[in-house]
Chains A and B, each alone.
Chain A
Amino acid sequence: MDLTGKLMTAKQAVEKFVHSGDQVSLGGFTLSRNPMSLVHEIIRQGLKDLYLVCHSQGQAMDLLVGAGCVGRMEIAYGGLGRFAPTCVRFRRAVQQGDLSLEDYSNYQMSLRFWAGAMGLPMIATKTGLNTDIVKKDGFSPEDRGKGKVPGLKLAVQDNPFAEPGDKVVLLPALNPDVTLLHAQQVGTDGTVRIKGLSFADLEQARAADRVIVSCEEIVPKEQIRQDPDQNALPGFLVDAVVHAPLGAHPTACHYFYDYDPQHLKMYGKVAKENESFQAYLDKWIYGCRDFEEYLAKLDPAALERIKADPVLGYAPGLDRR
């Protein structure tokens, strides 16, 4: 097994494996390992009506929503920690009614991906009983059961193995059309290695029909197989590999670079107004042929500052105010 036919540019990977209307899941979490190079490409190609399925998403989700690529989403959390307690374009889109949206919790979304990965139709949990997550639908009744929209948001039932009254929440499994991940390393055999926290990336990848992985480094098969304990996914589950150094910028990639506080702060400001947000898209995405051109526009000194310490995995002493 090798990367023949799988190694491609972000442009080729998105053209081949992501389509308007697809149900898409994004790897990473709020301000870490967002698949930014792939998301920029989706925006550049003008894909529409994506159906995002998210646990906690930050920068990648907010850009896709702001650029008008998303029609529907299931989500647990849209925020960027201290840089945006609620993602700015996400908030605006929801308040304006631009999105069809339904809320779950993080554990619920993770379990739904896991169920999808295991080939189960549903999964039971105790989380969320009697909350409005259980009681209130976001999608309209006429959309129920159409395409990938589950016929019911969820169901509360008695545990059949206990006395009546022991309630559980049944959640529908998720099998997205495509999952987009950013990893630290991919081997020349397609093996994926994720360093630091894996979040729900592995469940999301195993649940999906197609998987695109962008990565900081491509390393020889012999090297990545020297320590298989550290590996996350076998190559045969990966459809496309994109070599994208700094491909999660401005979010962090453990052991490679920290999040970029300056860029995130600047984004938080410009995202507040339509005009300045449009100018951001024009400069940083539409005005770039590819992600390398975006990177070339960044301040080299800023990139130097976020370089990770090889032991700690982040940039100690980075000014994060």
Chain B
Amino acid sequence: MADYTDKEMMALCAGRLVPNGAVLFAGTGLSMLAATVAKRIHAPESVVFFETGGIDPALDELPLAVADPRVMSGSAMNAGLIEAFSILGHRRLSTIAFLGAAQIDPYGNLNSTALGDYRHPKVRFPGSGGACDAASLAWGVIIFMQHEKKRFVPKVDYLTSPGWLDGGDSRQKAGFKRGGPLAVVTNLGILKFHPETKHMYLAEVYPGVSVEEVQEKTGFELDVSQAVETPAPNEQELRILREEVDPQRLILGPAA
């Protein structure tokens, strides 16, 4: 039996994907956790900033929203949205954004707006916030998803945040200069995108998860031929995550 939770595994896996020295754009929830994990464990020279204008805050306590006063404390500077989005898309910076969504398609396009018809939605979500901007302007995007068939769909009900659009070079043709999703971190494994077709494939499965289970919970065909097993979290990763990053388990939720 695993002695760690899905959320712990997801936060640590996302942290491992971050190159040291990266400039990280974080949102709420797991993405906040992953950015903090990266900074504390895997990429200590990385900096975190928030769309609200909090640039490289101390993050002594975990913020619960991007406007939490905890993103304003011990920061390099406290600015506003225009400044933050200018950094997000800055030519000199390889910014990496963490995003979550309600739905994702095979090319990493995301829906965080609504299910059903946009003007008469069955379910309304919060909306883009800065997600569309991060997906449009960041150097790269790491996506968090719960791995369920209803979330991994052939076509999203509403395209809030652009991934690789229709695959191939369609993103470039649409007018984007850079960016696109790098990886999708789920509760079952890690998915990446084919270098040319930009179609999603299974890159890693977590210990104890089968590729069949992943395919079964994905609403479209996945290439699973390259899938390897993800190393389990080590003691140091788990200790820092539990004791330093989220001791109140505000985002991690119940322990294993």
Contact = CB atoms under 8 A, between A and B. Distances in A.
Interface residues of B, number: 61
Interface stretch (B34-42, B60-68, B193-201): B60-68
A94 B124 contact: yes
A182 B88 CA distance: 27
A314 B75 CA distance: 14
Interface string A58-81: 100000000000000001111111
Interface stretch (A6-14, A126-134, A221-229, A270-278): A126-134
B176 interface: yes
Given A130-B162, A312-B73, A82 B53 contact: no
Contact of B160 (A133, A313, A321): A133
A189 interface: no
Contact of B251 (A55, A82, A114, A201): A82
Contact of B175 (A104, A126, A321): A126
A45 interface: no
Interface stretch (B14-22, B127-135, B226-234, B236-244): B127-135
Interface string B32-71: 0000000000000000000111100000110011111111
A110 B81 contact: yes
Contacts of B174: 129-130, 167
A56 B80 contact: no
Q: Which among B68, B73, B176, B177 has the highest number of chain A CB atoms within 10 Å?
A: B68
A295 B193 CA distance: 53
A80 B123 contact: no
A103 B113 contact: yes
Q: Which among B70, B74, B122 has the highest number of chain A CB atoms within 10 Å?
A: B70
Nearest to A135: B159
Contact of A106 (B81, B113, B123): B81
B65 A82 contact: yes
Given A199-B81, A203-B82, A131 B132 contact: yes
A301 to B, nearest CB: 20
Interface class of chain A by DSSP:
loop
Q: Which among A87, A104, A131 has the highest number of chain B CB atoms within 10 Å?
A: A131
Q: Which among B125, B128, B177 has the highest number of chain A CB atoms within 10 Å?
A: B128
A104 B69 contact: no
Nearest to B161: A131
Interface string A166-197: 11100000000000000000000000000011
Contact of B128 (A82, A106, A313): A106
A112 to B, nearest CB: 11
A231 interface: no
Given A94-B121, A131-B161, A314-B61, A110 B67 contact: no
A82 B64 contact: yes
A123 to B, nearest CB: 11
Given A79-B28, A110-B82, A131-B161, 12 more contacts: A28-B67, A29-B66, A79-B129, A81-B67, A105-B130, A106-B85, A126-B175, A130-B174, A132-B160, A165-B173, A198-B79, A321-B250
Counting from the closest, the 4 A-B pairs by CB-CB distance are: A81-B65, A167-B175, A77-B129, A79-B126
21 contacts: A28-B67, A31-B64, A32-B67, A55-B81, A77-B128, A90-B124, A105-B130, A106-B128, A107-B81, A107-B85, A110-B81, A110-B85, A111-B82, A128-B132, A132-B159, A136-B119, A136-B158, A165-B173, A196-B69, A197-B53, A314-B70
